[in-house]
Amino acid sequence: MRDGILVINAGSSSIKFSLYVSEAGDGITLSSKGQVEGIHVAPHFEAKDPSGRKIEDKVWDHGDRLSHEVLLEFLIRWVEEHLDGATLRAAGHRVVHGGTRYAKPMLVADGLLDELEALVPLAPLHQPHNLAPIRALQAVHPGLAQVACFDTAFHRTSPRVAEIFGLPRQLTAEGVRRYGFHGLSYEYVSGRLREVAPAVGAGRVVIAHLGSGASMCAVKDGKSVASTMGFTALDGLMMGTRTGNLDPGVVLYLMQQKGMSGKQIEDLLYKQSGLLGVSGISNDMRVLLDSDDPHAAEAVELFVYRIARELGSLAAALGGLDALVFTAGIGERSAVIRERVCALAEWLGVKLDPQANQRNDLAIGAADARVPVFVVPTDEELMIARHTREVLDRQL
């Protein structure tokens, strides 16, 4: 029997999906993937087969009036018509926050959604959009098993000292602590590293997830021990439009001296800062690397510098460094950013093989370097599909 597993990653303006087919005793294979983008403005649905060939492309008249629910219903119907003989058995969702309680994926049952809803104040820009499709699917497909996979879960192995802030204990007890994010990506990449380089993968590894959101994680023997993202996904590295690490005194200044509201500060820190804010040009790394503007160059320099600084900090948390791994859009594709980060990390024993780096090879370190460097493409969707199948198998 062939089972269909639908993976959903929903944000404020888009719903991404991947449809996998799984056979008993066999692996999981991608059958199609796509997204609805431009929700509430001009929704656009697109689906591709595993080779990247477009198999569906749809826009709606008056699409701005269509709700998330209506678009999700369309997506489910589309998926059911493209199961290719498989039976839709479950949906796996990326859920940004599992709080301190959920250190592994959970089958959605009574009560869980209410608990996850209570975490909305900790991730107001993401959590509501992650939960909405779970509720919508319950309405249109009441019998379908659903699994919530958390971006925070992988980090729950970190020691307490890596998780608490220097705040009064009461606030820590209330949940004002570091959670860490991008966990599904780190779990996948760390698992892949253990497959391709088992000895290294069992050691002290720093993984740099450099996409439009960016963070780094220190992994020891496959377990997260520290990460750059904290209470929210705003901390750590400078990102496409987010500040990353910032003196909290800046926030006080913005409030007290400039009279900015919470909403205005949120907008500044999440949407107008980072590569976009420093360059004044774009949040897209490709645009900045192609630009001659000195502000673009400064934004790139700061991006690289922050990664190198955090690498030193994470190596300290690990007590040394056995490997460095790059992943996500920039990490997987930008040889020049990897080269510049590695040049600042020579003191740690990192050295690149320039040709291998140019080719985006899996192993890009120089043969005589003490610390090997890898490029491991991430696959958060496959990680969710695997978790979903495992959770289902446990129910049998």
* Nearest alpha-carbon partner for 313 in 218, 171, 190: 218
Q: Among residues 333, 349, 358, 366, which is the contact residue for ligand ADP, using CB under 6 A?
A: 333
Which residues inside 93-122 make contact with ligand ADP, applying CB under 6 A? Answer: none
Question: Does the footprint of ligand ADP cover residue 77 (CB under 6 A)?
Answer: no
Choose the stretch contacting ligand ADP; rule: CB under 6 A; options: 107-115, 127-135, 317-325, 326-334.
326-334
Question: Does the footprint of ligand ADP cover residue 329 (CB under 6 A)?
Answer: yes
Q: Among residues 92, 213, 277, 372, which is the contact residue for ligand ADP, using CB under 6 A?
A: 213
Helix (H, G, I), strand (E, B) or coil at 241: coil
Strands (DSSP E) contained in 256-361 are 323-327
Choose the stretch contacting ligand ADP; rule: CB under 6 A; options: 45-53, 84-92, 110-118, 207-215.
207-215
Question: Does the footprint of ligand ADP cover residue 212 (CB under 6 A)?
Answer: yes
Question: Does the footprint of ligand ADP cover residue 71 (CB under 6 A)?
Answer: no
Choose the stretch contacting ligand ADP; rule: CB under 6 A; options: 90-98, 123-131, 211-219, 252-260.
211-219
Neighbours of 142 (CB within 10 A): 7
Query: 22 or 228: whose CB is closer to ligand ADP?
Result: 228
In angstroms and rounded to an integer, the radius of gyration of the C-alpha atoms of the chain is 21
Smallest distance, Å, CB 121 to ligand ADP? 23
User: Please, which residues have CB within 8 angstroms of residue 286's CB and are 6 or more apart in sequence?
Assistant: none
Query: 37 or 69: whose CB is closer to ligand ADP?
Result: 37
CB 371 within 8 A of CB 324: yes
Residue nearest to ligand ADP (CB): 329
Size of the site for ligand ADP (CB under 6 A): 13
Query: 184 or 348: whose CB is closer to ligand ADP?
Result: 184
Do the bridges between strand 28-37 and strand 15-23 make them parallel or antiparallel, or are there none, so unpaired?
A: antiparallel
Calpha distance 87→180 (Å, rounded): 35
Q: Which amino acid is it at 211?
A: G
Q: In the β-sheet with 214-220, what is the strand arrangement from edge to edge?
A: 223-227, 214-220, 204-210, 323-327, 373-375
Question: Does the footprint of ligand ADP cover residue 359 (CB under 6 A)?
Answer: no
Question: Does the footprint of ligand ADP cover residue 271 (CB under 6 A)?
Answer: no
CB 35 within 8 A of CB 118: no
Calpha distance 304→115 (Å, rounded): 38
Question: Does the footprint of ligand ADP cover residue 360 (CB under 6 A)?
Answer: no
Q: What letter does residue 240 receive in the DSSP assignment?
A: S
Of the candidates 151, 235, 322, 379, the residue annotated as catalytic is: 151
Helix (H, G, I), strand (E, B) or coil at 366: coil
Q: Among residues 19, 219, 315, 330, which is the contact residue for ligand ADP, using CB under 6 A?
A: 330
Choose the stretch contacting ligand ADP; rule: CB under 6 A; options: 18-26, 116-124, 161-169, 205-213.
205-213
- Encoding tokens for residue 320? 């040394």
Q: Among residues 46, 80, 267, 284, which is the contact residue for ligand ADP, using CB under 6 A?
A: 284
Smallest distance, Å, CB 167 to ligand ADP? 29
Smallest distance, Å, CB 336 to ligand ADP? 8
Strands (DSSP E) contained in 212-291 are 214-220, 223-227
Calpha distance 134→114 (Å, rounded): 12
Site string for ligand ADP, 228-257 (x = CB under 6 A): ------------x-----------------
Is 151 tagged catalytic?
A: yes
Choose the stretch contacting ligand ADP; rule: CB under 6 A; options: 53-61, 217-225, 284-292, 294-302.
284-292
DSSP-derived secondary structure for 154-199? GGGGS-HHHH--SS-HHHHHHT-S-----HHHHHHHHHHHHHHSHH
Residues belonging to the active site: 151
Binding interface with ligand ADP (CB under 6 A): 211-213, 240, 284-286, 289, 328-330, 333-334
